[in-house]
Structure formats: C-alpha cells, structure tokens
Structure 1
Amino acid sequence: MTDNLEALQRALPYLLDGLLITLQLTVGGALLAFAIAISLGLLARFDNILIRGFARTVIEVFRGTSLLVQLFFLFFVLPLPPFNLELPSIVVGILGLGLNYGAYGAEVVRGSINAVPRGQWEATTALSLSRTQRMWRVIFPQAWALMIPSLTNLLIQLLKGTAVVYLITIVDFTAELNKLRIDTDVFFAYSLGLVVYFVIAYLLTLAMNAIEVRAKHRLGQGTRLREAVAAPTVDAEGNTP
C-alpha cells in the first residue's frame, strides 16, 4: 500500500492535468450538446418537411452511430481529401461529444415541448402571441422544467463518455490512470478512477438539481432553492415543522 501511495504522489500532477482535460471536455461538450439539442429539438417540430427532415436526419445519424467511430472519423478522416480539415484533438473531442449527446438531447427537448399541456398552447393562441413569443414566453419555460432530469442523465453519460476520448491521443484523466496502473496495481488505480468520476458526477447532479428547483419555482411549483437546500429543524419528538 505504501508503494501505491508513493506512486500516486509522483503521478498526482499528471493526474490533475488529466482531470483538467476531462473537465474541459465535459463542460465544452455539454455546452455544445445543449446548443445542438435546443436547435435540433425545435427544428424537428417545424411544419416545413425540409427543415424537419434535416433535423431528423442529423439526429438519427449521430444517435444511431457509435461515439467512438464518430471521434475516429473526425480525427482521422477529416484531415484527408476532400475534407482537408485538421482540428486540434481537444476540439475534436468536444465536437464529437457535443454532436453525439446533442442528438440524444434533441429528442429530450422535442418530447418535453410536446408534453406541455394542450391548454397552454390554446391559451397562447387566445392571447394572439406570435410563434416566437408563444414558445419562449410560455411553452419553453414549462418544457425546460420537464427536460432537466433527462438532461441531467445525459450530462452524466457525457462525463463518462470522455473516458474514450484518450483514444484520439488526448491525455485525459483516464489516460493518466492507465499510466498509474503500471506503477501501482489495477485495483488501486481504477478504484481511484471510480471515486473521482463518482464525485464529479455527484457534483454535476447537485448543480442540475438546483437548476431544476429554480426552474420549477419560477413556474410557481415547489419551493425556492434556498428553502430546498436548507436543513429542516427537528424538535425533541423528531417531528419537522
């Protein structure tokens, strides 16, 4: 055990650098995925068959193919003719994650918008709101509260998806764990990896839960964020007020 700890101490700077790369991939990929999900989710609801068909095609292509194959295509194929587009590996990682999980997120957005009660749509028509006003002032805020739990799951999946990006020469946290395994043992190295990924996932979940509470409160549902995170007081009989 002492040898493992000494090896961990030597590898710690490299592990922290790899962790930073993983966080950059997670945040960058999540932001891109969110933008793609909103865009494609809205386009997939258009009446125009060309616009809707374009959105559905993009969604199905990136949702129906492997993330790893997409990363390999972006990293190894794009630099070749006729594309001749060579991107930095970190950009390829963010782009691959964003496109893949954005396609899944688009279905979450579309489904959540469709889940808004019909009466809300009829109310916007009665108020003579334009299509844009109808969506962003009334429908989307309600759909946003509905889609957050599913988007949280996708965010955690995206975090775990960063573990395969090292295969396109990005030295992320997983790549550094593989190096640590050589100097320690399999159990120690990958147990450390499990703990670190779990902690990051848990923190992301807490952040998304806070966003969900705030979104619901703005709709008049549930409590404020401050009230939700405050610990309830307990009297001598074990009852909460």
Structure 2
Amino acid sequence: MTENLDTLGRALPQILDGLLITIELTVGGALLAFLIAVGLGLLARFDNRWLRGFARVVIEFFRGTSLVVQLFFLFFVLPLPPLNIELPPVLVGIVGLGLNYGAYGAEVVRGSINSVPRGQWEATTALSMSRTQRMWRVIFPQAWALMIPSLNNLLIQLLKGTAVVYLITIVDLTAELNRLRVDTDVFFAYSLGLVVYFILASILAAAMNGLEARAKHRLGRGKPKRVLAAPAAETKGAGA
C-alpha cells in the first residue's frame, strides 16, 4: 500500500492534468449539448414540417449511433479528402459529446415544453403575446423547472462518457488511471478512479439541484432555505 501511495504521489501531476482535461470535456460538451438540445427541441415543435423533419432526423441519428463511432468519425474521417477538416483532439471530444448528448437533451426539452399545462398556452394567446414572447416569458421558464432533473441525469452521463475519449489519443483522467494501473495494481488505480468520478458527479448533481430549487422558487413553487427556517424561529420564540 505504501508503494502504491508513493507511486501515486509521483504520478499526481499527470493525474491532475488528466482531471483538468476531463473537466474541460465535461464543461465544453455540456454547454454545446445544452445549446443543441434547446435548438433541436424547439425545432421539433415547429409547424413547418421541413424544420421539424430536419430536427427529428438529427436527433434520431445521434441517438441511434454509438458515441465511440461518432468520435472515430470526427477524428479519423473528417481529416480525409474531400472534407479535409482536422480538429484538435479535445475539440473533437467536446463536439462528439455535445452532439450525442444534445440529441438526448432535445427530447427532454421537447417533452418538458409539451408538459406545460394547456391553460398557460391559452393565457398567452389571450394576452396577445407573440410566439417569441409566449415561449421565453411564460412557457420556457416553466418547462425549464421540469427539464432540470432529466438534464441532471444527462450531465452525469456525459461526465462518465468522457472516459471513452482517450480512444482518440486524448490523455484524460481515465488514460492517466490506466497508466497508474501499470505502476501500481488494478484495484488501487480503478478504486481511485471510482472515487474521483463519484466526487465530480456529486458536485454536478448538487449544482443542478440548486438550479432546480431556484427555478421552482422563481415560479412560486418553493422557498429558499432561509425562508423555510423563519417559521421555526418564530415558533421557538412564541413557545418561550
């Protein structure tokens, strides 16, 4: 065990570098996935059948093909003629993750918007709101509170999905753990990996839970903790 810890100490700078790459992939992929999810989710609800059809084709294509194959295509095929598009490995990872999980997120966005009560839609019509005002001032804020739990799950899945990007020569956390395994043992290296990924997932989950609580509070469906604590203090004072 002591030898493993000594080896870990020597490998720590490289592991931290790999961790930073994993965080970059997660943040970059999540931002791109969110933009794609909102864009495709809204397009999938358009009355225009061509726009709606385009959104459905893109969503089903990226949901129905393997993330690993998508990464290989972006990394190995795009640089070939006639495309000749060569992207840095980290950017390939971000684009691949964003496209794949953005397609799943688009269904979350579409389903959440459809879940907003019909009365809210009718109210916006009665107020003579434009299509844009209706969506961004009334419908989307309510749908946002509904979609956060599902987006939270996708975000954690995306974090775990970064573990496959080492296949396209990116030295991320998983790649560094594989190197550590050679110098220590399988149990030590991958147990460390489980702990690190669990900590990262817990941080993301806590942040998303905070966003959900804030979104519900803005809609009048919840109260911040400091407000909830007030009645307890008043009750204690009354009892005294």
Q: TM-score under structure 1 normalisation? A: 0.94
Show the counterpart of 2:238.
Answer: none
Aligned counterpart, 1:139: 139
In 2, Cα distance between equivalents of 1:165 and 1:70: 11
What is the rounded CA distance, in whole Å, between the counterparts of 1:107 and 1:177 in structure 2? Answer: 34
The alignment of Structure 1 onto Structure 2 pairs a total of residues equal to 232
The answer as to 2:117 corresponding to 1:117 is yes
Residue deviations 1:56-93, cap 9 Å, x none? Answer: 01000001100000000000000001111000000000
Distance 1:225 1:54 in 2: 44
The Cα offsets for residues 90-142 of structure 1, whole Å up to 9 and x where unpaired, read as 00000000000000000000000000000000000000000000000000000
Q: Distance in 2 between matches of 1:226 and 1:35?
A: 33
The corresponding residue for 1:187 is: 187
Asked if 1:156 corresponds to 2:156, the answer is yes
User: Is 2:30 the partner of 1:30?
Assistant: yes
What is the CA RMSD across the aligned residues, in angstroms? 1.4
Structure 2: tracts of 5 or more residues without a match = 234-240
Match of 1:210 in 2: 210
Question: Is the contact between residue 210 and residue 225 of structure 1 (CA under 8 Å) also seen in structure 2?
Answer: no
Aligned position for 1:127: 127
Alignment correspondent of 2:49? 49
- Distance in 1, matches of 2:225 and 2:18, equals 33
Maintained 8 Å contact 1:214/1:225: no
Asked if the contact 1:108–1:151 (Cα under 8 Å) also holds between the matched residues in 2, the reply is yes
Matched residue of 1:174: which SS?
A: helix
Which residue is equivalent to 1:10? 10
User: 1:149 is paired with a residue of what secondary structure?
Assistant: helix
| CA apart distance, 1:224 | 1.9
**Matched-pair contact (CA < 8 Å) for 1:120–1:138:** yes
Check whether the contact 1:25–1:94 (CA below 8 A) recurs between aligned residues.
Answer: yes
Residue type of the partner of 1:185? D
Does structure 2 conserve the Cα–Cα contact (< 8 Å) formed by 1:44 and 1:52?
Answer: yes
| Distance across 2 between alignment mates of 1:22 and 1:180 | 16
* Letter in structure 2 aligned against 1:113: I
Deviation of the 1:153 alpha carbon:
0.1
SS in 2 for 1:85: coil
Distance in structure 2 (CA, Å) of the matches to 1:58 and 1:89: 23
The amino acid that maps onto 2:81 is: P
Query: Residue 226 of structure 1: CA displacement?
Result: 4.9
Aligned equivalent of 1:238: none
User: Quick one: distance in 2 between partners of 1:233 and 1:173?
Assistant: 46
Corresponding residue of 1:82: 82
CA shift digits 1:145-192 (9 cap, x unpaired): 000000000000000000000000000000000000001000000000
- Return the structure number with greater helix share: 2
Distance 2:8 2:225 in 1: 39
Judged with a 3 Å threshold, the aligned counterparts in structure 2 of structure 1 residues 114 and 17 are, in CA distance, closer, same or farther, namely: same
Measured at CA, do residues 50 and 150 of structure 1 come closer, stay the same or move farther in structure 2, by a change above 3 Å? Answer: same
CA distance in 2, matches of 1:136, 1:64: 30
> 1:83, 1:117 → 2: CA distance?
46
The 4+ residue runs of structure 1 with deviation greater than 4 A are 225-228
- 2:211 aligned counterpart, secondary structure: helix
